[in-house]
Structure 1
């Protein structure tokens, strides 16, 4: 061998010896012929301890790994991930590059396995894979949240999803004094006992060393929602993982809060619906263009001939018109932003032929009118009573005005409220107004035996009076009359006036 070639080989040997990668060379029979310093450090063997020994002392699975090594030699070299065993029995993942060395005739001289320690890489890959599993769990929980609106089902299914993450041996959620669990029953039982004993409820996500395992407590808090997520793992939780679990807790808190608000809203809607349906008056909710959005059952009964009411304009459904009524209290309400009231005719032939309509504005946070609530009161009976009363008053007035006997209405304190023309003339006055200025208690009666006190005493006692009376005329003369009168009283029995 030339001096130059020898020098090159020595330099190459020095480079290999100082390389960071572990290098092990074997002869064609599989016996170790070389081990560099990096290989010694990685596997714990000294070169002199393994030279001449089979390569299998580094194998974790000798048959499989020998076959893998020989196939790489046949291919002229290859690179692959494998596992090699250290002197102390530890299995070390490595990236191995197999390089066969042959002579000029193609005969195999030796083969070298160049190995890079990939334990940190594997740890990182395992960490990334684990975090990806947690991310997939977040995705699955979020999909669950969009579909499940029952909080008990939501919490149990969330536990079932999380426990599928590799390494999680138990998952618990506590909410409203009830526990939801998934995973190893013993693990969950221990956690619940620990929580009961220690009161492990934290405001921030916290990690514990727990019975040879690790426990994370993550609060699920939003508004009135106070729950806690407990996750058990065989390995310690890292910051990224705890951040993801905190995110899951936040998502669950949002879902529980949303379900609670939906339930509260539904309860209010049911209550409001019951209130609407129990109100005997009609209720109609309109948009600003007078389109009907909602009616209660009273309106449906009154306007059953024009059903369905929702979607129609109010003037179409309630009045059989093709344009708004004039005047329209709801249009005034939309314009003024205040309550407006009016009495309007109802639909001819309907149960409510006359209605008293109260229109109240609905406003947004900025004070803009967004709709109208109409309270509709059936006053058909009142209108009929008013008409009958008016007719009765007209008949009474006709009788009163044309009677050939004197008729009056007076108060207990002597004021004349009404007097018909016959009585005005009988007492010698020019008009009813002139007669009304007379005080009966002071000058109503002339003869001592016919004092007004006697009249009041008897009518208050009996409720009526029948007998002779002496009235004083305008000119001072006395006229004797036969008088009949009744006391008209209120509900409490207090006398309002006397009709006679």
Structure 2
């Protein structure tokens, strides 16, 4: 008898001092057990709640509560059921509930007992993670640059629609292949591999190499390389953001050719041509300009200042005045 009493006291201490909220109700839904953890989580004191209908059930969860109670009265167990419960201050919290039958000393089921863990922070974190994943998913699928994801062995594990459009491979064709498949040649593959090793684990970097499409055509690609990391910040792979810069390269080449063409014209022109700042610093001039004015070099003129080539300094001031007003002048005579 004494042993049985000691056992009951022991169990009561466990229930009362458990860090997990433990609540028991009878068959009618009235509270018959409410431990300290329940007081802390939900706000009601034990003295306020014993013998009363369970107040933590939101109106839209009444049917759910009744179904859980019915299962416990039948001796069925419910494990890790996620739902919402209400606190005394009116706030709703997310909880994980495990429910079982509550029995008397003779083993008769007299109600249900529930263990509840507050998982509000976890639910909030999961929601934030899902929202973040959705944002990045939208970015991944909508961005117009090719995105390629590879593991540390440079095996392709994912790509976006823009990649399939630019390179001509379907995702089924390319996933699982070595990234060597998309380079112009092995030399280009090894070149970027060297850059990966040099920057390994550091900040993202840009690199330009030649890539090859499925149809064999080659294009220059500016590649932004980012490192994939696990929760311990270990590198687990790479993300390549590839932009076709063929148009830019063509424009730069055309500009260089144009500059070369006009530089040749500038150098060979028999008229004196020069470029200067408004305040008179000579930036450039052609050989004819030096010859006409009797100077040996651009540096020689700058030693004397551009103003010195005018017989009357007022002439230059008038020239600048006309230039500012009309933006351009021609056949303007000075001595």
Q: Give the TM-score of the pair, scaled to structure 1.
A: 0.45
Which of residues 329, 332, 342 in structure 1 aligns to 2:207?
342
Counterpart in 1 of 2:180?
Answer: 315
The 3 A distance-change label for structure 1 pair 409 and 334 is closer
Counterpart in 1 of 2:153?
Answer: 289
Counterpart in 1 of 2:133?
Answer: 269
1:280 aligns with 2:144: yes
Distance (whole Å) between structure 1 residues aligned to residue 323 and residue 203 of structure 2:
51
1:164 aligns with 2:71: yes
The 3 A distance-change label for structure 1 pair 410 and 228 is same
Q: Is the 1:333–1:360 Cα contact (8 Å) retained in structure 2?
A: no
Pairs within 5 Å for 1:96-495: 160=67, 162-166=69-73, 175-176=83-84, 201=87, 225-226=94-95, 245-247=113-115, 249-250=116-117, 264-305=128-169, 308-319=173-184, 321=186, 324-328=189-193, 331-332=196-197, 335-347=200-212, 353-440=219-306, 442-447=307-312, 451-470=315-334, 480=335
The 3 A distance-change label for structure 1 pair 311 and 232 is closer
Pairs within 5 Å for 1:70-85: none
TM-fit CA distance, 1:458: 0.5
TM-fit CA distance, 1:378: 2.5
Q: Which runs of 5+ in 1 are unaligned?
A: 1-153, 178-198, 203-220, 471-479, 481-500
TM-fit CA distance, 1:279: 2.2
Q: Is the 1:329–1:342 Cα contact (8 Å) retained in structure 2?
A: no
The 3 A distance-change label for structure 1 pair 324 and 163 is same
Tell me the SS of whatever aligns to 1:466. coil
TM-fit CA distance, 1:301: 1.0
Counterpart in 1 of 2:44?
Answer: none
Tell me the SS of whatever aligns to 1:429. coil
Distance (whole Å) between structure 2 residues aligned to residue 458 and residue 444 of structure 1:
19
Distance (whole Å) between structure 2 residues aligned to residue 232 and residue 367 of structure 1:
46
Tell me the SS of whatever aligns to 1:464. coil
Distance (whole Å) between structure 2 residues aligned to residue 415 and residue 322 of structure 1:
48
List per-residue Cα deviations over 1:106-136 (Å, max 9, x = no partner). Answer: xxxxxxxxxxxxxxxxxxxxxxxxxxxxxxx
Please give the root-mean-square deviation of Cα atoms over the aligned residues, in Å.
4.4
The 3 A distance-change label for structure 1 pair 369 and 334 is farther
Distance (whole Å) between structure 2 residues aligned to residue 176 and residue 330 of structure 1:
52
Q: Is the 1:421–1:432 Cα contact (8 Å) retained in structure 2?
A: no
Tell me the SS of whatever aligns to 1:414. coil
Matched residues, number: 267
Distance (whole Å) between structure 2 residues aligned to residue 321 and residue 158 of structure 1:
65
Q: Is the 1:330–1:374 Cα contact (8 Å) retained in structure 2?
A: no
The 3 A distance-change label for structure 1 pair 350 and 264 is farther
Tell me the SS of whatever aligns to 1:461. helix
Larger radius of gyration: 1
TM-fit CA distance, 1:371: 1.4
Q: Which runs of 5+ in 2 are unaligned?
A: 1-60
The structure showing larger relative contact order (alpha-carbon pairs under 8 Å, at least 6 residues apart) is: 2
Q: Is the 2:149–2:238 Cα contact (8 Å) retained in structure 1?
A: yes
TM-fit CA distance, 1:338: 3.1
The 3 A distance-change label for structure 1 pair 297 and 237 is farther
Pairs within 5 Å for 1:35-74: none
List per-residue Cα deviations over 1:26-82 (Å, max 9, x = no partner). Answer: xxxxxxxxxxxxxxxxxxxxxxxxxxxxxxxxxxxxxxxxxxxxxxxxxxxxxxxxx
The 3 A distance-change label for structure 1 pair 330 and 176 is farther
Distance (whole Å) between structure 2 residues aligned to residue 310 and residue 288 of structure 1:
14
TM-fit CA distance, 1:165: 3.8
